[in-house]
Structure 1
Amino acid sequence: MPFAVYLLGLAVFAQGTSEFMLSGLVPGIARDLHVSIPAAGLLTSAFAVGMVVGAPLMAVLSLRWPRRNALLAFLVTFLLVHVVGAVSTSYDVLLATRVVAALANAGFLAVAMATALGMVAPNAKGRATSVLLGGVTMACVAGVPAGAVLGEVWGWRSAFWAVAAALLPAIVAVLKSVPAAGDSGTVEEDRPSNAARPEAARPSARAELRSLRRPRLLVMLVLGALVNGATFCTFTYLAPLLTGVTGLGSAWMPAMLALFGLGSFAGVTVSGRIADVRPVRLLVIGGVALPLGWALFALAAGNPAAAFVLVFVQGTLSFAVGSTLISQALYAATGAPTLGGASATAALNVGAAAGPWLGGIAIGAGLGYRSPLWVSALLVIAALLLAGVAALAGRRSLPRRGRGGRGQPGRTRTHMT
């Protein structure tokens, strides 16, 4: 795996910290800005909505930029809006900064996926995806708990300043280590300029959009959105759940968030090892276990020991299944290297927007802080039902090893059986 791919994962870590850290800062933001817990939780949804809109939009706008320049532009924008958020005293301004940050993050992740996949062998998409998503999970392990500690000691604004500071080495790393890749993803050190390239060699948004119409790809994206929605539905309200239902003190929140992050890191690690060769087995086993785990968590949330175990287990299952679905979507989008990554990013964040929104509705309806867990279970059940319907319809939705054999998943034919 090229070292530059790991550096892209480092940049994803810094941005992922910003995306996820609100789960530990929701109570403090609500108190400081005089809004309700669900309203503060909507800051996560706002970020996700910006990611949904921004992924395809930023991918199209940056399609003909040199990739390193695009990555740097998105990172600098992300840093600046965090400075604005850190000094803001208005909920509306903070909400707006989350949307702009999401647009920049979406553009970065779409271009980073295309860059990373262009650096690896065609049969290593699962491993490359797991490295990038590993940056997200490391944000859960280290960045999010650190943000929670900063929020507890110095207030939630200090976490925003910390993210801005963490982006500086990421910017330097991208500048120094990512090749000056052009539109095709190849190093352009020996090419005079982008303008000198033949028109036919330049990427076409129309051609990539045509590649996104494959039924298998669309099913994979919807499944990924549902699973990620389930993950974020509970994760966004994890702090109020653990303090209000489990009975843990706020001082426990950094450790519990880190535990979820360790589980998610374990999940993408497992996915990276298996998704390229045995994805069906992982999806079937994980897909069945995931809603059962959410339901068990809802029933046992009042027991601290059970909560400790299930926070880790559900983090593992959620990211193992989710990252496998996304890697399979990327295999199905071989004709759209940039917009395929953008579509995967958008799908993840459709779920990340819908999950907290649905969880907030359940809490606002008076169903208590256990209710997001039940919503999470229902979202995964919906994904299983969709997979079953697609199977009955004979669509190629879930991947299966075919004659391509081990190590050649890009040639594997997949069916819903």
Structure 2
Amino acid sequence: MPLAVYVLGLAVFAQGMSEFMLSGLVADIAENLGVSIGTAGTLTSAFAVGMIIGAPLMAMLSMRWPKRRALLSFLISFLVVHVAGALTTDFGILLVTRAVGALANAGFLAVAVATAAAMAGPDAKGRATSILLGGVTLACVVGVPGGALLGRFWGWRSAFWAVVVLSVPAVFAVLRSVPDDAPDAAVPGVRRELRALRRPRLLVTLLLGALVNGATFCSFTYLAPLFTNVTGFADTWVPALLALFGLGSFAGVTAGGRLADTRARQVLVAGGAALLVGWVVLALTAGNPVTALVLVFVQGALSFGVGSTLITQALHAGGEAPTLAGGFATAALNVGAAVGPSLGALALDGGLGYRSPLWVSAGLVALALVTGGATRALAPLRKPATARPPEGRRLSI
């Protein structure tokens, strides 16, 4: 695997820290800037919206740029807005920096996915994708407890400075490691790539990615109240339990990356079925601490193993749209990350109990399995393709 792919993973880790660290800083920001906790919580929403809109939009804007220039532009913009966020005393400015930072993050990730896949070659797209998503999962492990600890000892601004410190070496690493390729004249234009994105197989893959990621973040968002109110863990255990989920996620991304290029169908079918069973079992046995500890790791591994494989399949399905496929895959995952917790909140606010987000997650995974199965069953009714891809490399849906 080229060194540049690991460098991109480092940069993704630095940016992922910014996304996850805010969970432990909202109360401190609200108090320091004189706003309500609910208002401070809109910082998370601004970042999510920026990621959803920014991935395809920034990918389109950067299509004709050399890859290194695009990556450096997004990464430096991300760094600068975090400096501004760390210095500002105005909540409105901080809100804008979160939105702009999300746009830069989304653009970087979209271009990085396409760049890493191209450098790795068609037989190693899954491994390259897993390295980038490994940066996200490590940020999940470190970001939430790390942001909370920094905020407790040195104030919420120190967490923003920590992201800046992490981003600086990533800038120099990208500058030295990513090839300075000129734009490829053969790269399709925006209209042609958008036409390629209409293919049913790609659209279904993006939908499945959104559903699986929605299930993941629906439960992950509300694990803390579940473990404290149902399982009976003390509040002090929560950061370690969330980190355990993150460790499982990293293990799942790593394993999924090695299997996505050769056994994609097996990963999605067996892994998806196991993921559904896991959410159901956790919902039924959440009161048992041992079962909860085991399943929080297992569900993290299955969620990100299946999710990373779906991203790889989106890159294969969107082979004629090499730039925008990564952007829309990024957007689909963030749609899931935004919608899933909202559905969980509706279940909780409806008085269905702390286990209800787990049932919502199970329902979303079940919907993904039914959708994938129905699409697979209907595939023979469509006109067959002139050339059939190798079994392990592309999933026919």
TM-score, normalised to structure 1's length?
Answer: 0.85
**Counterpart for residue 168 of structure 2:** 168
How many angstroms apart in 1 are the aligned matches of 2:299 and 2:265? 19
**Counterpart for residue 37 of structure 2:** 35
Kindly indicate whether residue 65 of structure 2 is the aligned counterpart of residue 80 of structure 1: no
Candidates 243, 268, 271, aligned match of 2:256: 271
**Counterpart for residue 338 of structure 2:** 353
Return closer, same or farther for 1:41/1:297 CA change in 2, 3 Å cut-off. Answer: farther
Whether the 8 Å CA contact 1:215–1:396 is kept in 2: the answer is no
Return closer, same or farther for 1:391/1:313 CA change in 2, 3 Å cut-off. Answer: same
* Aligned pairs for 1:77-156 within 5 A: 77-87=77-87, 93-156=93-156
Candidates 218, 239, 248, aligned match of 1:233: 218
| Bigger mean CA deviation after superposition, 237-246 or 64-73 | 237-246
Whether the 8 Å CA contact 1:48–1:353 is kept in 2: the answer is yes
Kindly indicate whether residue 322 of structure 2 is the aligned counterpart of residue 320 of structure 1: no
**Counterpart for residue 350 of structure 2:** 365
How many residues are matched?
Answer: 391
How many angstroms apart in 2 are the aligned matches of 1:307 and 1:31? 34
Q: What letter corresponds to residue 62 of structure 1 in structure 2?
A: S
Identical aligned pairs, as a percentage? 65
- Structure 2 residue runs of 5 or longer lacking an equivalent are none
Kindly indicate whether residue 52 of structure 2 is the aligned counterpart of residue 67 of structure 1: no
| Bigger mean CA deviation after superposition, 78-87 or 323-332 | 78-87
How many angstroms apart in 1 are the aligned matches of 2:235 and 2:80? 30
Return closer, same or farther for 1:395/1:238 CA change in 2, 3 Å cut-off. Answer: farther
Return closer, same or farther for 1:340/1:256 CA change in 2, 3 Å cut-off. Answer: same
Return closer, same or farther for 1:358/1:90 CA change in 2, 3 Å cut-off. Answer: farther
Whether the 8 Å CA contact 1:231–1:376 is kept in 2: the answer is yes
- Structure 1 residue runs of 5 or longer lacking an equivalent are 185-199
How many angstroms apart in 2 are the aligned matches of 1:235 and 1:13? 19
**Counterpart for residue 260 of structure 1:** 245
Candidates 196, 211, 218, aligned match of 1:211: 196
Whether the 8 Å CA contact 2:10–2:135 is kept in 1: the answer is yes
How many angstroms apart in 2 are the aligned matches of 1:95 and 1:240? 27
Whether the 8 Å CA contact 1:246–1:307 is kept in 2: the answer is yes
Whether the 8 Å CA contact 1:23–1:236 is kept in 2: the answer is no
How many angstroms apart in 2 are the aligned matches of 1:272 and 1:97? 33
Kindly indicate whether residue 37 of structure 2 is the aligned counterpart of residue 52 of structure 1: no
Return closer, same or farther for 1:80/1:131 CA change in 2, 3 Å cut-off. Answer: same
Return closer, same or farther for 1:364/1:31 CA change in 2, 3 Å cut-off. Answer: farther
C-alpha deviation, 1:27, in angstroms: 5.9
Kindly indicate whether residue 259 of structure 2 is the aligned counterpart of residue 286 of structure 1: no
C-alpha deviation, 1:111, in angstroms: 1.0
* Aligned pairs for 1:378-417 within 5 A: 378-394=363-379, 409=393, 414-416=395-397
How many angstroms apart in 1 are the aligned matches of 2:245 and 2:149? 16
Q: What letter corresponds to residue 214 of structure 2 in structure 1?
A: G
Q: What letter corresponds to residue 35 of structure 1 in structure 2?
A: I
How many angstroms apart in 1 are the aligned matches of 2:118 and 2:294? 38
Whether the 8 Å CA contact 1:110–1:342 is kept in 2: the answer is yes
Whether the 8 Å CA contact 2:231–2:288 is kept in 1: the answer is yes
Return closer, same or farther for 1:10/1:344 CA change in 2, 3 Å cut-off. Answer: same
Candidates 301, 312, 322, aligned match of 1:337: 322
| Bigger mean CA deviation after superposition, 86-95 or 315-324 | 86-95
Whether the 8 Å CA contact 1:212–1:336 is kept in 2: the answer is yes
How many angstroms apart in 2 are the aligned matches of 1:242 and 1:91? 33
Offset from partner CA, 1:133-192 (integer Å, 9 cap, x none): 1111121233443223323444444322211221111111111211112323xxxxxxxx
**Counterpart for residue 195 of structure 1:** none
How many angstroms apart in 1 are the aligned matches of 2:274 and 2:131? 24
How many angstroms apart in 1 are the aligned matches of 2:242 and 2:302? 16
How many angstroms apart in 1 are the aligned matches of 2:186 and 2:170? 30
Q: What letter corresponds to residue 37 of structure 2 in structure 1?
A: V
Secondary structure of 1:388 counterpart: helix
RMSD in angstroms over aligned alpha carbons? Answer: 2.6
Offset from partner CA, 1:230-257 (integer Å, 9 cap, x none): 1111222333333344343343233222
Q: What letter corresponds to residue 277 of structure 2 in structure 1?
A: L
Q: What letter corresponds to residue 336 of structure 1 in structure 2?
A: A
C-alpha deviation, 1:28, in angstroms: 5.3
How many angstroms apart in 1 are the aligned matches of 2:61 and 2:208? 27
Whether the 8 Å CA contact 1:232–1:356 is kept in 2: the answer is yes
| Bigger mean CA deviation after superposition, 127-136 or 367-376 | 367-376
Q: What letter corresponds to residue 6 of structure 1 in structure 2?
A: Y
Q: What letter corresponds to residue 64 of structure 2 in structure 1?
A: R
C-alpha deviation, 1:91, in angstroms: 5.7
Secondary structure of 1:124 counterpart: helix
Return closer, same or farther for 1:102/1:87 CA change in 2, 3 Å cut-off. Answer: same
**Counterpart for residue 180 of structure 1:** 180
TM-score, normalised to structure 2's length?
Answer: 0.89
